[in-house]
Structure 1
Amino acid sequence: MRSWESTPRPAKIYWRIPLKTGAKRHACTPVIGPDSVVVASTSIGTQRFNISKKGADISADKAWENKSCKTILGTPTLIGNYLFTLGPSDHTDLECLDFATGNQLWSQPGFGDYASLTTVNDKILALNSTGELILIKINPAKYEELGRVQLCAKTWASPAYADGKIYVKDEGHLTAYALAP
Structure 2
Amino acid sequence: MSGDQVYVMDRPGKGAVGSERVGCFKAGSGEQVWLHEWSADYGDMEYGTGPRASVTVHDGRAYALGAAGTAACLDAATGEVRWQVDTVREYGARTPTWGFAASPVIDGPRVLLHVGAGDGGCVLALDRLTGKLVWRGGPDPAGYCTPEVIIHEGLRRLVAWGPEHVQCLDPESGATLWSWPYKVTYGVSIAQPLYRDGLLLVSGYWHGTKVLKLGKSPQEVSLAWENEKDMCGLMSAPLFKDGVAFLLDKNRGLQGIELATGRLLWSDDNRLTPKDRNPQMSLVWLRESDGLASLLNASGELVHIRLGREGVEELGRHQIIGKTWAHPAFSGNRVWARSDTDLVAWKLW
Unaligned runs of 5+ in 2: 1-107, 111-126, 128-132, 136-172
The one of 200, 222, 225 equivalent to 1:64 is: 225
Unaligned runs of 5+ in 1: none
Asked if structure 1 preserves the Cα contact closer than 8 Å seen for 2:205 and 2:250, the reply is no
List aligned pairs for 1:163-178, cutoff 5 A: 163-178=332-347
Asked if structure 2 preserves the Cα contact closer than 8 Å seen for 1:20 and 1:43, the reply is no
The structure with the larger Rg is 2
> Cα offset for 1:164?
3.0
Decide which moves more: 5-14 or 39-48: 5-14
Give the secondary structure class of the aligned counterpart of 2:177: coil
After superposition, the Cα gap between the structure-2 partners of 1:52 and 1:162, relative to the gap in structure 1 and judged at 3 Å, is farther
> Cα offset for 1:143?
2.2
Does 2:193 correspond to 1:33?
A: no
Cα deviations by residue, 1:57-108 (Å, 9 ceiling, x for unpaired): 432211111221111211212223111111152xx51111111112111101
- Tell me, in whole angstroms, the C-alpha distance in 2 between the residues paired with 1:87 and 1:41: 9
Structure-2-length-normalised TM-score: 0.46
List aligned pairs for 1:11-160, cutoff 5 A: 11-54=174-217, 57-67=218-228, 68-89=230-251, 93-110=253-270, 111-112=273-274, 113-121=279-287, 122-160=291-329
Identity %: 26
Give the secondary structure class of the aligned counterpart of 1:102: coil
User: Given residue 37 of structure 1, which amino acid in structure 2 is its aligned partner?
Assistant: L
After superposition, the Cα gap between the structure-2 partners of 1:115 and 1:58, relative to the gap in structure 1 and judged at 3 Å, is same
After superposition, the Cα gap between the structure-2 partners of 1:80 and 1:173, relative to the gap in structure 1 and judged at 3 Å, is farther
> Cα offset for 1:36?
2.3
Aligned residues: 174
- Tell me, in whole angstroms, the C-alpha distance in 1 between the residues paired with 2:345 and 2:296: 14
After superposition, the Cα gap between the structure-2 partners of 1:102 and 1:167, relative to the gap in structure 1 and judged at 3 Å, is farther
Structure-1-length-normalised TM-score: 0.86
- Tell me, in whole angstroms, the C-alpha distance in 1 between the residues paired with 2:176 and 2:346: 41
- Tell me, in whole angstroms, the C-alpha distance in 2 between the residues paired with 1:161 and 1:32: 22
Give the secondary structure class of the aligned counterpart of 2:185: coil
Give every structure 1 segment of 4 or more consecutive aligned residues whose post-TM-superposition deviation is greater than 6 Å: none
Cα deviations by residue, 1:12-63 (Å, 9 ceiling, x for unpaired): 1111001011122211121222222111111221121111123xx4322111
- Tell me, in whole angstroms, the C-alpha distance in 2 between the residues paired with 1:4 and 1:31: 25
Give the secondary structure class of the aligned counterpart of 1:106: strand
Q: Which has the higher contact order (CA 8 A, sep 6+)?
A: 1
Asked if structure 2 preserves the Cα contact closer than 8 Å seen for 1:118 and 1:159, the reply is no
Give the secondary structure class of the aligned counterpart of 1:53: coil
